[in-house]
Structure 1
């Protein structure tokens, strides 16, 4: 106290002014002897503990603190005598018996007689502690919800750094939380998503253009063992002041994809069966009926009966129906991808279409592309087939080009179908998308890719099915 008094007196501040200032401080300032007895108590002490100076001076300091006795003071004194300042948060006892949290600081100084005394301060931090407790409780509750969730939940910051990684995500990706927290989320992605992620996040923060956030998307994830699997993402964004946190909900759709592939296999089997029935069953019957009707027409004509022309017309119509049935059968069943490969099958598809429609349909494949998995090749074939049919029947195209290619770094495989038909606007695509377009999109998703329908600068309609090469390699191994 004498040091404080001397400082203020040297700066033209009187003792009364000094006491007034000390008593109006919002925190407790006190002096203790080395036995722990309170020697001085400012007005702030009443604000903190409720005691006036006359009620507490001469009393042991430990009566102010819950569960702390003289032994605690002895330990603290030993620490202070080493020349260290003491700072701690402890629970105190208010005059009315209530408990308060305190930020306590103590140091040893000398009084005017050169005797060591303890200068102590204390601030009431009960509100701060309550807020911290509520925050801790809220965090614990949030963590409990995250850990109980059956879906993988990951939170990342604006740099893509993982902040939280729940138990379901651990089981899904094979990493423990400690292995990925603090790492970039692209660690959980295969190529090319891994290379594209940071650029996408940067573009979003700069432009606000959303491709996944608030929309959802089906992509591929990469486990710790390097295996790739299909996942469905739902991303939400929360802003805390200047900080942005993204929460990613992840669902492993491997079983769903497997089931969908099985359903498509069954559907393809039925498609082939119906094709064979049309060709071998209905087609043969129509051929037989056409032959009988032609013979009947000849007999009627030989006998000079007027019905000969009508029967001949019936025979002609049956022959046309036979040809139509065989065309349908060809489209349904006549694909030998296993023996001839996708490139040859697409080339023959274009040739066949040109023969039937008399519309130029050109196939190009600048790269040597090998797709081992039959179902992968079949999906791409059906996408091309549907796009060509749409171009001819609905787009009224007079030229069609089909291209199978790998991009420059061979990270993506692209199937492109372009036509000079009338096309349709983006609004019309969303509003009137029929079964054909939806089926093409569905098959693209099955392959882990995406389908885009755009317009070229020349006004042509362009259908692009783009699939990461890593996904093709993964599907080839399944």
Structure 2
């Protein structure tokens, strides 16, 4: 038998003779291919597992693997810090044990739906119990975690602590609900999404009435018609006219009243749900006070002039008036010329008119003293009307007096208040030259007693500031009566307003504060 030498290992590459060892070569090649295929398949899985573990461990929100019975299997560091337990302590309990008792039933029901295949995942807000006893509000997202064969083996939960966010949201919500300024939020189509209680009080609408409605419902013309154009221009140019600024503009209440408001608009987002927020302050009272201040300054100027007029013109005018009366009597005896007598009578009337004007000037110029005493307002009204009822009846003016029961007394200067009632009733009477109805109502509203004096006359034209000195709608009016009346009402701490409709009549409203019973007091204006 021939003896063979062992083959030497060499570093040179050698070709394998396929005819010499065909079976051994095929087996070796198949083993190499199987090993290579196994490595190619397991390498991505290994890389994916490492990536998952890294994300699991370092995620900023809590992540947990939970068994189908509720036991914690794994928890990352964010979750252990959130709940105050170590991972070992969590593994010894269930998620049900750490869930707020009121939230357990809903959580368990959702997990059962997951396991039955009815849903693929669920998301909800729920409360967990911290190890120290405090409640933690969280946002959880739970889904099934399958194995490599796609079979669900556990639950994976993403848990985010939203306690501070919700506390901040609650604080903002309470702030919006309790602020005295109106807060209105609008979407991209200018539809109202938020209408806080102050807005309800200011505009007279409820949140339900305004939700989803366009903001133009709160605007008078021409602002309502121009609003869409303004928004379109801003979206196109990004040049603001109202956004980021504080402006005084006009708004409209539910009852149609137009009032001045201080408006500040902010752009808070770029989504469709909330686009702009408007902060609104009703400045009606401030504007009224400013107007009254200007009126008082004008009255002071008028009063200064009046003092000179009364002194320089008053005495000669009195002499003229006396002389005209004597001349009228003498002419009545000497001649029957009616034209001459009519001319003298007209001259006397104009002299008396000038005297009355000076008297009103004198009321503005002199410093008036007030003595406030507890007074029944109905008694004052009845006393004034009783002295004028004959004149009213001659013209066909019917007087109606309506007094609420159990009215409180008001602390007023009786003589000055009589002047207020007389002047307002006289204006109402003169507004009804062909007869009508004069109605005086007295009632209480909150901390004020309201006296309304209404006529069925021609009304006051729009655009006329009847409280402006020398502005009048009457042919022979001086334009000083209403400024004097408002001056007297102001001195009582009250307000004088009116509403009017052309062709239907005017109502003046005097609001006097109700003060507690006390001693009489005096004041000067």
Alignment TM class, shorter chain as reference: 0.3 to 0.5
Higher helix share: 1
Question: Scaled by the length of structure 2, what TM-score is found?
Answer: 0.41
Question: Scaled by the length of structure 1, what TM-score is found?
Answer: 0.45
